[in-house]
Chains A and B, each alone.
Chain A
Amino acid sequence: MKAFTTHRGLVGPMDRANVDTDMIIPKQFLKSIKRSGFGPNLFDELRYMDEGQPGADCSNRPVNPEFPLNFPRYKGASILLARKNFGCGSSREHAPWALEDCGFNAVIAPSYADIFYNNCFKNGLLPVILTEEQVDVLFKEMEAEEGYQLSIDLHTQTVTTDSGHVFSFELDEFRKDCLLNGLDEIGLTLQNADDIKAYEAERAAQHPWVFGAIK
């Protein structure tokens, strides 16, 4: 997995609460059997004026001039600034895949839906949680300054603005470790193979109906 240590980049806005995963990547693109290539269809229904189709070239589609992420000033953004409960709805990992494929390395929001939050860490995408007040400060600074950039340091768990704010954020220790080191979680779990086998043997003795029925 891709590691995340520090990142400095341009900030782009998604200024609404409860952004759902259908909005992040609409269902027709879930027909793909690949992990990559979802970037051009990120926020497809908001970003374009027509209806997107899987596999179609997006370079000549009519873009929605009112959608902020289409503004020239946010072109190349790598940090998405968002509102509360970002990523609610379905479990589709295509949502972080699309964000990552579109060039985003981090999202900053006051809260996330649980499954989306979890999925981000599997893909080297850092979901930063700040307070609503701190997110408000960042939105105001971003709107006031073209080319607005932020620095994120996962080691120190801080978001730093050029104006001098340093906002700390929390995350679980094991998630931080995996992300900092780009660890293969499956490989880590398999280091516990003996524990898993021991658990299985005990469980099979106690609850035998859990094993063997499906053939």
Chain B
Amino acid sequence: MTGRTLYDKLWDSHLVKQNSDGSSLIYIDRHVIHEVTSPQAFEGLRLANRKPWRLDTNIATPDHNISTDKSERDAGVAGMTDEVSRIQVQTLDDNCDLYGIKEFKINEMGQGIVHVMGPELGATMPGMTVVCGDSHTATHGALACLAHGIGTSEVEHVLATQCLVAKKMKNMRVTVDGTVGAGVTPKDVVLAIIGKIGTAGGNEHAIEFAGSVFRDMSIEGRMTVCNMAIEAGARVGMVAVDQKTIDYCEGRQFVPKGEMFEQAVAYWNTLTSDADAVFDTEVILHADDIAPQVTWGTSPEMVAPVTASVPRLDEQPSEEQRKGLERALDYMGLEGGQAINSIKVDRVFIGSCTNSRIEDMRAAAAVAKGRFVASSVKQVLIVPGSQMVKAQAEAEGLDKIFIEAGMDWREPGCSMCLAMNADKLGAGEHCASTSNRNFEGRQGNGGRTHLMSPAMAAAAAVAGHIVDVREFVGGDQ
């Protein structure tokens, strides 16, 4: 018998029943709930006169829709100025109270973006199946979880049955060996991967990220990478357990202690792909080839090294690609052949479930320290991913560095990543953003998003245009 991949192992250990029609019943260990994709699921439960199967599996928090402005946040849910948003957040509170589901409420310690909150509280642990009504749930795969986004009908299904009807995905391994250069971050690595395989490259696959680059990477860095698996089309991204995984988990709120922790660790250490495991698809990149990355277009696959130029219309291999490029350049207000580092930015957003953890805050602060936002930049939003990240950053004095640099230090939430709250771009504005999607209108109707790392975004804020962060921090050009 050939060996099993990490995904095979996670799948096998959660298989409740294999049905004769080819579908499977998979057990869900952890269900993370937020205000946007859950109200209709709770409503469905009530209409069918059903109750949650288990309570100690669910963990909830508001994140997508809440204000990041301190004065509005201080007034709590009742003080939310957008009435439609207020009702949605209140509905989450009401549903959690009604059923007895653990919720970290709007201003409670523990609240944060669902995919920052879960791991930092130890609510997600290696070997678990983790689902959430949000496509960036793959983030939790950094802890060797089988984690993926689900729709609202499946939120209801998990609430009612603790299971999902699923079909096994194919295995893909993305290997990046070597050592990345100075100024090249996990964000750059994952953007380079998306640039290589495209936004549909991982469709129907679960991706395992392997190789020395990921072994050398911190757990928070692995979260950034797994987070964007969905931008490569894969619902699932993951990294095998190593000592870093175990060290990260130890001591967190919901992680067991003492003998049970040792028992857990013994199991967690089995969560790696066997040496002879076979993957359906293999992708290989070399660390040496990866420079800081910037998206120039309207899909995450429209990405290039910061040292490069926007693609030219006359270099496109097909008419379909030429049309797609023309539409993207028109939307972005760019010319083919234009140098990436000539793109001016109007706003900067540092935050989101991709890049709002303490290491991201430190990376941005390292660039911002002793510098000032360019006068042409209208706003720089720094949005920590959780109350815990915010408290830690403030304990380290990072908030002061940002404020002294002329940046806005905000309250935790999803903010301008999807612009459901008041944080958004105006039509035609360019944004250096650490988020995960540069779709048309994503950060505001007509807004133009350039995805990049926190250090690159901070450098763009200071320069007033996209710039190679290595000019700020040194390193090879």
Chain A residues with CB under 8 Å of chain B are: 16-18, 20, 22-23, 26-28, 30-35, 45, 51, 54-55, 84-85, 88-93, 96, 111, 113-115, 118-119, 122-123, 172-174, 177, 184-186, 188-190, 192, 195-196, 199-200, 203, 206-215
A18–B203 CA distance with the chains assembled, in angstroms: 12
Q: Given A111-B200, A122-B154, A199-B27, A33 and B420 touching (CB < 8 A)?
A: no
Stretch with Cβ within 8 A of A (4 or more), from B213-221, B252-260, B335-343, B360-368: B252-260
| A91-B56 in contact given A18-B299, A45-B441, A173-B22 (Cβ < 8 Å) | no
The residue in chain B whose Cβ has the minimal distance to the Cβ of A112 is B203
Inter-chain contact B440/A45, CB cutoff 8 Å: yes
When the two chains form the complex, which single residue of B17, B25, B125 contacts A209, counting CB atoms closer than 8 Å? Answer: B125
In angstroms, Cα B203 to Cα A16, docked, is: 18
A186 touches B160 (CB 8 A): yes
**Given known A-B contacts A27-B419, A189-B161, A214 and B445 have beta carbons under 8 A apart:** no
Taking the nearest CB of chain A, how far is it from the CB of B128, in angstroms? 7
Which B residues are in CB contact (< 8 Å) with A113? Answer: 200, 203, 233
B279 in the interface (beta carbon within 8 A)? no
Cross-chain pairs A/B with CB under 8 angstroms, 28 sampled: A16-B324, A22-B441, A23-B441, A27-B420, A31-B82, A31-B88, A33-B39, A35-B152, A55-B84, A85-B203, A89-B437, A92-B37, A93-B152, A111-B203, A114-B233, A115-B148, A119-B151, A173-B21, A174-B22, A186-B157, A186-B161, A196-B16, A196-B161, A207-B127, A209-B260, A209-B263, A213-B56, A214-B56
Query: Across the interface, do B29 and A185 meet the contact criterion of CB distance under 8 Å?
Result: no
Chain B neighbourhood of A26, CB < 8 A: 441, 445
Q: How far is the CA of A32 from the CA of B137 in the complex (A)?
A: 22
- From residue A41, how far is it (CB to closest CB) to chain B in Å? 12
A95 CB to closest chain B CB, in angstroms? 9
A45: which B residues are within 8 A, CB to CB?
440-441, 445
Does B57 reach chain A (CB closer than 8 Å)?
yes
Complexed CA–CA distance, A54 and B203 (Å): 32
When distances are taken between beta carbons in the complex, the residues of chain B under 8 Å from A84 are 200
Beta-carbon contact of B128 and A210 below 8 Å? yes
Contacting residues, chain A, for B148 (C-beta < 8 A):
115
| Residue in B133, B161, B167, B234 with the greatest tally of chain A CB atoms within 10 Å | B161
* A-B pairs with beta carbons under 8 A, tally: 201
Q: Does B50 contact A (CB under 8 A)?
A: yes
Do A195 and B17 touch (CB < 8 A)?
yes
Q: Which of B43, B199, B327 contacts A88 (CB 8 A)?
A: B199
9 additional A-B pairs beyond A17-B324, A208-B256, A209-B260, beta carbons within 8 Å, are A23-B439, A27-B418, A45-B445, A91-B134, A93-B151, A111-B203, A114-B234, A210-B29, A214-B254
For the complex, give the distance between the alpha carbons of A211 and B128 in Å: 11
Write out the residue numbers on chain B whose beta carbons fall within 8 Å of the beta carbon of A31. 36, 65, 82, 84-85, 88, 420
If A28-B420, A189-B161, A209-B255 touch, whether A215 touches B102 (CB-CB below 8 Å) is yes
Of all chain B residues, the one with the shortest Cβ separation from A26 is B441
CB contact between B165 and one of A23, A174, A200, A206 (< 8 Å): that residue: A174
Residue from A17, A27, A32, A212 with most neighbouring chain B CB atoms (10 Å): A27
Q: Which residues of chain B come closer than 8 Å to A189, judged between CB atoms?
A: 25, 157, 160-161, 163, 165
Q: Determine how close the nearest CB of chain B comes to the CB of A203; give it in whole angstroms.
A: 7
Scoring A20, A55, A184 by chain B CB atoms within 10 A of each residue's CB, the highest score goes to A20
Chain B, Cβ-Cβ closest to A34: B40
> Is the CB of B387 closer than 8 A to any CB of chain A?
no
B40 near A172 with CB under 8 A, answer no
> Which residues of B are in contact with A by a Cβ distance under 8 Å?
16-17, 19, 21-23, 25, 27, 29, 36-37, 39-40, 43, 48, 50, 53, 56-59, 64-65, 82, 84-85, 87-88, 91, 102, 122-123, 125, 127-128, 133-135, 137, 148-154, 156-157, 160-163, 165, 167, 199-200, 203-204, 230, 233-235, 254-256, 260-261, 263-264, 267, 299, 320, 324, 327, 418-420, 437, 439-442, 445
Cα separation A28 to B418 with both chains bound (whole Å): 9
Partner of A30, one of B150, B153, B420: B420
Q: Cβ of A123 and Cβ of B157 under 8 Å apart?
A: no
Q: Which residues of B contact A54 (CB under 8 A)?
A: 84
Considering the chains assembled together, what is the distance between the CA atoms of A20 and B230 in angstroms?
Answer: 12
Q: How far, in whole Å, are A195 and B204 apart by their CA atoms in the complex? A: 27
Q: Are B165 and A22 in contact (CB under 8 A)?
A: no
B15 (CB) vs chain A CBs: closest residue: A199
A22 touches B439 (CB 8 A): yes
**Complex formed: what's the CA distance from A81 to B8 in Å?**
36
A22-B437, A28-B420, A33-B40 are contacts. A115–B235 as well, Cβ < 8 Å? yes
Q: Shortest beta-carbon distance, A44 to chain B, in Å?
A: 9
Contacts of B135 in A (CB 8 A): 89-91, 115
Which residues of B have CB within 8 Å of A115?
A: 135, 148-151, 230, 235
Chain B's closest residue to A45 (CB) is B441
Complex CA gap A54/B420 in Å reads 11
Contacts of B167 in A (CB 8 A): 172
Looking at the assembled complex, report how far the CB atom of A181 sits from the nearest CB atom of chain B, in whole angstroms.
Answer: 12
Q: Which residue of B lies closest to A175 (CB)?
A: B23
A residues near B150, Cβ cutoff 8 Å:
91, 115, 118
| Chain B residues whose C-beta falls within 8 Å of the C-beta of A96 in the assembled complex | 151
**Contact residues in B for A91 (Cβ distance below 8 Å):** 37, 133-135, 137, 149-151
Chain B residue nearest in CB terms to A22: B439
B102 neighbours in A (Cβ, 8 Å): 214-215
Chain A positions within 8 Å of B439 at CB level: 20, 22-23, 89
Q: Are B419 and A200 in contact (CB under 8 A)?
A: no
Given contacts A185-B165, A213-B254, contact A195 B16 (CB under 8 A): yes
Does the CB pair A33–B56 fall under 8 Å?
Answer: no
Q: Which residues of A sit under 8 angstroms from B65, Cβ to Cβ?
A: 31
Could you tell me if B200 and A199 are in contact, using CB atoms closer than 8 angstroms? no
The CA-CA distance from A36 to B447 in the complex, in Å, is: 28
**Residue from A16, A89, A203, A206 with most neighbouring chain B CB atoms (10 Å):** A89
**A residues within 8 A CB of B58?**
214
* Nearest Cβ on chain A to B298's Cβ, whole angstroms: 9
Chain A residues contacting B88 (CB-CB under 8 Å) are 31-33
Nearest CB to that of A52 among chain B residues?
B445
